[in-house]
Structure 1
């Protein structure tokens, strides 16, 4: 389908989250055999190192004169895709990371410009120059959409590369071996980013998409007619909760929780049975994903400003990226549980809100990441008051770590939460402590638990001091922020 539309940049927060996984500035590449087409093009490659594997994104923007015929557009599009496939084949054959788990994606953006014809005639076949704004976008690890003013929004071709395209129009060798280049239009990639919302869901979708594409080609029956349809298939499938169920079972096995998560059971059963509550659960997860992303973005922005004031950017980038990813590496369901715990507080009994309380929450994306949500008590003299807890967040994280009998543990994240009502408005003050933990064997973890029990009985244990010293050697993050920001906040 070929339609001309004027579209705005609406990538959603997932584009910003992916920027935290970007390994280096985007690189411009030259595609073979594109010098003969009467169009300008710009191709860039992005490398994202996600926890689950490597995502390599190739963006190809082709600019055509506004009066270009549909036949010419299709000819240019086919030539551009074939050139990208040829470049990708050469690139993967030379890549040292060919054996690593990765997904390769090509996003094709066809734009129209009144000035394209003159630019082509006067500027040669390929003009890869970019203005200072575009250069700045790359350096800032932003997504590949340009910062155009509303009056200068590009006019884009709305097209698609569904399964049937690779069965009839562009027949390529799609097998189980080798790295396959998955091709999307700009509009479809935008829809994917908006719908999936999290890096881990995007990764799993690409695996699901490639599997469906391979099945279509091998069976000669298209398994999906549009990207919109396959996105819906993925989000409605029971497999969306498979990883969370695996983590949930592991938590029970370790004795960290006594029974399966009731919300996980309800959501997975609703998905499996396609019940009427399934769309409601999907909306709840989508809303929670957005809220967690906004919350994480504020934390990242606050810490970024603090760290940049203390050190040069190059020295802080590695550790800064690691802790950013701890917050962002959460699935739709995992974010749902964190936000649900946070916003359940106003419904708690007044007595509990006054004394304060602690909730141990788990990541349902990564077994080794655990959260401690401390809801500060309103009683300023109480043991759970902000004054009593705030100076001890690091010690709390380390104490929690010694009580978790699992070798996989690698991070404990402590959130000190204070709900404040002022002039009819409610603010949330959050203190954050991210504590990385050294890897421990199961035997070491068991011994640590024994030490903890002895310590509670009054026995002096120098070994626990050693554990604390090891943890102190790793990069940590601490901050305080207010949501929404208050003008009078120090």
Structure 2
């Protein structure tokens, strides 16, 4: 352990993304029997509990800060650290007993920060003004799997809901490295499995959180859900063959080739860009809807729509951004006319995208003037015609590339259409609709003129019977 100034930012785009999943304001937590502890070590602590509802499950985060005198000895620091962790584990056990949850899809996290104060007066300032803590020094420390095997032994069996413990620095490193809520959730699953393996086999499966993050980010676990979606789309005859980009990345990761690092950088860049574009889309939505909805309705709609956009994994964001950046490579005639791309989420089989690239020609079928007022109708039309039983949202993006002062900007209009679950009868008809869809795809392909860019063109309305509405 070592003293250090703040070296990592509390803020990042994954941190910002998580805020839209927050269920309620943070709750101040009181740990049991802490008065004697604070007196013994001349310490002060504060703890807050956050609840997030991610698409894959519930995330419970306990943020805990321990303030110690700068003159504290290493022995006192370690003793105080262990006492706080024990108190947090007791609180967690009590909390679980009081809030029995049958939902196994949840992760409980403790992010533990230790900061130093020079004078006792600083503690009083912190109690009055929590922002004072920003100027304090942090202790660089960590736990790792050995800590809970040797120093503080805890039950790691899968029958017990675990409180995964991280130092502040390690937690910030995780948030900075994993890029999306989906990958954060999968990493927590991955880490929990490593902890349980270590406990059952009495051997440490990793030495540090950084090592484990690196191992996770270079594993095929990143593509598990994308592979499932890809295979299902082929089964449903929504596509003819596996996604070539997915196959290439999987092989690179499996063979640990040098291109794997390049692919990861591309996915990380795409994830950051998608996060920025999503924020811009939601801001535009706010401005457009503000006059037609009260603040409460607007807030609910904003949060729901933002979650749908951010629920995409690294690979899924990569594919969406890759489709966007194909536009500058299209021929001038196609850019003038505009075109439509149907693309599925590789994170959720139930989410489908319609990307409409506005035509530059004012009179074109896909001009912004013709398409923008009808985004909702287009979404409803596609939702009624897609033969996917799992479909729950159709997202329509109206995309405008704007050249201004030698710079190019992307302006995106957004509409998200929720889809009611299919009835049993509709599910029975799904296979028939899938076969019809495949026939129509072949017919459409035959009608298109030859050319490498022609595969980008698709009709707004799929030429298959619409799903019947409930009477």
Same fold (TM over 0.5): yes
Distance in 2 between the 1:244 and 1:73 partners? 45
Match of 2:109? 105
- Once the two structures are superposed, residues 115-161 of structure 1 have per-residue CA deviations (whole angstroms, 9 ceiling, x without a partner) of 3x2466xx6xxx99454xx6xxxxxxxxxxx597xxx5321000001
Match for residue 352 of structure 1? Answer: 334
- State whether residues 114 and 138 of structure 2, in contact with CA within 8 Å, keep that contact through their aligned partners in structure 1: yes
Q: 1:91 aligned to 2:95? A: yes
Which of 181, 184, 198 is the equivalent residue of 1:202?
Answer: 184
| Correspondences of 1:251-262 after superposition (within 5 Å) | 251-262=233-244
Verify the 8 A CA contact 2:126 2:132 in the aligned structure 1. no
In structure 2, the CA distance between the partners of 1:8 and 1:153, relative to structure 1 (3 Å rule), is farther
Q: Which moved more, 1:398-407 or 1:40-49?
A: 398-407
* Deviation readout 1:287-345 (Å, 9 max, x if unpaired): 00000001111222333455556544434433332211100100000000000000111
- Is residue 42 from structure 1 mapped to residue 24 from structure 2 by the alignment? no
DSSP-derived class of the 1:36 partner: helix
- Seen in structure 2, the aligned counterparts of structure 1 residues 382 and 340 have a Cα distance that, compared at 3 Å, is same
Unaligned 5+ segments in structure 2 are 438-464
1:15 corresponding residue in structure 2: 15
Report the CA distance shift for 1:253/1:130 in structure 2 as closer, same or farther (over 3 A).
Answer: farther
Q: 1:290-439 counterparts in 2 under 5 A?
A: 290-307=272-289, 310-439=292-421
Tell me the distance in 2 between the aligned counterparts of 1:271 and 1:292. 23
**Conserved in 2, the CA contact under 8 Å of 1:98 and 1:179?**
no
Q: Which segment is superposed worse, 396-405 or 193-202?
A: 396-405
- Contact 2:385 2:467 (C-alpha < 8 Å) held by counterparts: no
Distance 2:368 2:219 in 1: 43
1:313 & 1:381 partners in 2: Cα distance?
37
Question: Matches of 1:431 and 1:24 in 2, distance apart?
Answer: 29
Contact map agreement 1:31 1:83 (CA 8 A) in 2 = yes
Alignment gaps of 5+ in structure 1: 135-145, 454-462, 471-490
**Secondary structure class of the residue paired with 1:189:** helix
SS of the residue 1:438 aligns to: coil
Whole-Å separation in 2 of the counterparts to 1:310 and 1:26? 31
User: What's 2:159 paired with?
Assistant: 177
CA contact (8 A) 1:367 1:408 kept: yes
Q: CA deviation at 1:229?
A: 0.3
Deviation at 1:235, TM superposition (A): 0.6
| C-alpha RMSD of matched pairs (Å) | 2.4
Q: Are 1:356 and 1:377, in contact at CA under 8 Å, matched by a contact in 2?
A: yes
Deviation at 1:423, TM superposition (A): 2.0
Quote the offset at 1:392 in angstroms.
1.6
> In structure 1, which of residues 61, 70, 78 is the aligned counterpart of residue 65 of structure 2?
61
CA distance in 1: counterparts of 2:217 and 2:122, whole angstroms: 43
Native 8 Å contact 1:405 1:449 kept in 2: yes
2:229 corresponds to: 247
Q: Compared with structure 1, are the counterparts of its residues 315 and 349 closer, same or farther at alpha carbon in structure 2 (3 Å cutoff)?
A: closer
Contact 1:334 1:365 (C-alpha < 8 Å) held by counterparts: yes
CA contact (8 A) 1:360 1:373 kept: yes
1:287 to 269, 273, 287: 269
Change (3 A) 1:49 1:379: same
Q: How does 1:89-238 map to 2 (within 5 A)?
A: 89-115=93-119, 117-118=120-121, 129=127, 131=129, 153-238=135-220
- SS of equivalent to 2:113: strand
Partners in 2 of 1:97 and 1:128 — Cα distance? 35
TM-score, normalization by structure 1: 0.84
Give the Cα separation in 2 of the matches to 1:441 and 1:210: 38
Aligned CA distance change for structure 1 residues 222 and 339 (closer, same or farther; 3 Å): same
The 8 Å contact of residues 350 and 391 in structure 2, kept in 1 or not, is answered as yes
Partner Cα separation in structure 1 for residue 220 and residue 159 of structure 2: 27
Instruction: Report the 3-state secondary structure (helix = DSSP H, G, I; strand = E; otherwise coil) of the residue aligned with 2:362.
Output: coil
Assess if the C-alpha contact under 8 Å between 1:405 and 1:442 holds in 2.
no
Instruction: State the TM-score, normalizing by the size of structure 2.
Output: 0.87
1: CA distance, partners of 2:214 / 2:467: 52
SS of the residue 1:14 aligns to: helix
Structure 1 residue aligned with 2:28: 28
**Shift in CA distance, 420/308, structure 1 to aligned 2, threshold 3 Å:** closer
Whole-Å Cα distance in 2 between the matches of residues 305 and 223 of structure 1?
A: 50
Q: Distance in 1 between matches of 2:235 and 2:394?
A: 20
